[in-house]
């Protein structure tokens, strides 16, 4: 089995993916690690290839065409494969990601809509449909919710669409003897889960916790009443009563406050605020980056590889409001 290479720099990217044919070869290798096998008749062996249509293979036995983008976010696209590969590379290698406007400019795309749609399709590939719940028995997981939002483009000044977002983040302790971050008592963030929730009721927040966190974990929350049922459904629960004292919360929920603060900065700085309709997609992207922040180069490969396993929205879906951005709890 050959391992797929992934680019670590722009020159390497250019060398690996000089044209659409190179991108097609990469997709083929990703799908058939042991060589082409026809999905229609099961015959193995070299298919026919067409220079003018690099995205299509034809089985020599049954003569059926197989599209290399079938089942991926690139299916039925009119955008060249090389543009998609650039997009995946830019999205995963620039640590804050990029806005549709920046992306349109970088790739010289004539239509903003194309840039917008490509980025949203890649975001659909950022959700692992089989994502595990975070935490473990004995692990600490901080859970909190916050209002996220702000001005939405085109709706005029002073219009604020605030959306409630719930977050769960693993808290790990640095090993003794390593460099400690004293401000946070040596605690560091593990994996994160983020989801739009309808309200702050016990039903909404416990459903979020059940989707995001493994039972048996120690869930640390503020004193909000809606979290009081967690013990009954199998979690250790440590509610921290803030009593209006922000310092107490900072001491007991330092990591989650950092995550929310980074999230808000990112939404404002890179994307200049996002509409409630698309917020879940940006939460997915933020989580994807956050959870892979120590492995930026693997993201490119996993994004392309994962992309094939997810249903992606069409532009019409995105604007009609029919499309629901997937969350980590959408198990296949």
Which residue in 10, 41, 233, 316 binds Zn ion (CB under 5 A)? 41
What is the rounded CA–CA span in Å between residue 198 and residue 279?
13
Which residue in 23, 24, 59, 312 binds Zn ion (CB under 5 A)? 59
Nearer to Zn ion, 61 or 272 (CB): 61
Nearer to Zn ion, 66 or 303 (CB): 66
**Which one, of 117, 173, 161, lies nearest residue 276 by Cα?**
161
What is the number of residues in the chain? 332
Nearer to Zn ion, 35 or 223 (CB): 35
* Least distance (Å) between residue 60 CB and Zn ion: 8
Nearer to Zn ion, 61 or 183 (CB): 61
Which residue in 44, 62, 159, 233 binds Zn ion (CB under 5 A)? 62
Residues numbered 245-274 forming contacts with Zn ion, rule: CB under 5 A: none
Residues numbered 18-37 forming contacts with Zn ion, rule: CB under 5 A: none
- Binding part of the chain for Zn ion, among 39-47, 95-103, 109-117, 314-322 by CB under 5 A, reads 39-47
Q: What does the per-residue mask of binding to Zn ion show for 183-212, with x meaning CB under 5 A?
A: ------------------------------
What is the rounded CA–CA span in Å between residue 58 and residue 81?
19
* Least distance (Å) between residue 231 CB and Zn ion: 57
What would the DSSP string read from start to end of 142-189? EEEEEEEEEEPTTS-TT-EEEEEEEEEEEEEEPPTTSPP-GGGTTEEE
**Which one, of 6, 42, 1, 46, lies nearest residue 26 by Cα?**
6
Nearer to Zn ion, 59 or 212 (CB): 59
**φ, ψ for residue 199, nearest 5 deg:** -165, -175
Nearer to Zn ion, 53 or 58 (CB): 58
Tell me how far CA of residue 78 lies from CA of 69, 114, 138, in angstroms.
11, 10, 50
What would the DSSP string read from start to end of 33-45? TTS-B-TTT--BS
**Which one, of 84, 65, 89, lies nearest residue 74 by Cα?**
84
What is the rounded CA–CA span in Å between residue 268 and residue 284?
16
Which residue in 23, 38, 192, 318 binds Zn ion (CB under 5 A)? 38
Nearer to Zn ion, 43 or 298 (CB): 43
* Least distance (Å) between residue 67 CB and Zn ion: 14
What is the rounded CA–CA span in Å between residue 214 and residue 234?
9
What is the rounded CA–CA span in Å between residue 259 and residue 168?
10
* Least distance (Å) between residue 30 CB and Zn ion: 20
What is the rounded CA–CA span in Å between residue 5 and residue 24?
14
Give the number of residues in contact with Zn ion, rule: CB under 5 A: 7
- Binding part of the chain for Zn ion, among 60-68, 109-117, 131-139, 173-181 by CB under 5 A, reads 60-68
Which residue in 33, 40, 105, 111 binds Zn ion (CB under 5 A)? 40
- Give, for 240, the enclosing helix (H) or strand (E): strand 236-240
Contact set with Zn ion (CB under 5 A): 38, 40-41, 43, 59, 61-62
């Amino acid at each position: 089995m050959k391992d797929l290479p992934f680019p670590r720099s722009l020159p390497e990217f250019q060398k690996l993916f000089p044209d659409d044919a190179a991108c097609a070869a990469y997709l083929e290798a990703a799908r058939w690690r042991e060589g082409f096998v026809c999905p229609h008749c099961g015959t193995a062996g070299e298919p026919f290839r067409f220079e003018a249509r690099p995205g299509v293979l034809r089985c020599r036995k049954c003569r059926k065409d197989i599209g290399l983008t079938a089942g991926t976010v690139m299916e039925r696209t009119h955008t060249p494969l090389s543009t998609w590969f650039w997009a995946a590379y830019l999205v995963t290698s620039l640590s804050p990601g990029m806005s549709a406007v920046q992306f349109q400019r970088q790739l010289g795309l004539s239509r903003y809509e194309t840039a917008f749609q490509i980025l949203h399709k890649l975001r659909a590939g950022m959700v692992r449909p089989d994502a595990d719940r975070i935490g473990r028995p004995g692990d600490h997981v901080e859970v909190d919710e916050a209002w996220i939002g702000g001005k939405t483009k085109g709706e005029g000044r002073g219009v604020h669409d605030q959306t409630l977002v719930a977050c769960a983040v693993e808290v790990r302790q640095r090993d003794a003897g390593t460099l400690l971050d004293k401000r946070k008592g040596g605690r560091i963030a593990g994996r994160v889960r983020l989801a739009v929730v309808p309200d702050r009721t016990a039903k909404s927040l416990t459903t979020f916790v059940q989707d995001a966190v493994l039972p048996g974990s120690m869930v640390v929350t503020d004193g909000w009443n809606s979290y009081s049922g967690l013990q009954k459904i199998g979690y250790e629960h440590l509610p921290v009563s803030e009593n209006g004292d922000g310092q107490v919360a900072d001491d007991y929920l330092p990591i989650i406050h950092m995550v929310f603060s980074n999230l808000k900065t990112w939404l404002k700085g890179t994307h200049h605020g996002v509409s409630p309709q698309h917020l879940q997609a940006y939460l997915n992207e933020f989580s994807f980056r956050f959870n892979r922040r120590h492995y930026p180069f693997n993201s490119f490969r996993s994004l392309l590889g994962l992309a094939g396993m997810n249903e992606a929205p069409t532009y019409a879906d995105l604007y009609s409001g029919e499309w629901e951005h997937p969350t980590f709890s959408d198990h296949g």
